[in-house]
Amino acid sequence: MYYTYILRCQDNSLYTGITTDLKRRMQEHFSRTVTSAQNIRYATNLKNWKLLGNRKTEC
């Protein structure tokens, strides 16, 4: 199963992501251990999330 999620960043922009482990991914974002160049903005809160099925069948 996959989750899609939307985060509000400290510069008030939105970041959208996909993961199989939402709890782990949120911990990475909020502890600032995410290495993606887009996450230089740093997440401040989770705005929304949705549980999806298998990634191959949803795309």
* Whole-prediction pTM: 0.69
For the sheet containing 2-9, what is the strand order?
Answer: 14-19, 2-9, 43-52
Distance between CA atoms of 12 and 1, rounded to whole angstroms?
29
Q: What are the pLDDT digits (tens) for 1-57? A: 888 888 888 888 888 888 899 899 888 888 877 666 455 567 777 777 777 776 565
Domain span holding position 27: 2-54
Q: Is residue 44 part of a domain?
A: yes
Q: Is residue 59 part of a domain?
A: no
CA 9 to chain centre: 11
Q: Is residue 31 part of a domain?
A: yes
What is the number of domains present in the chain?
Answer: 1
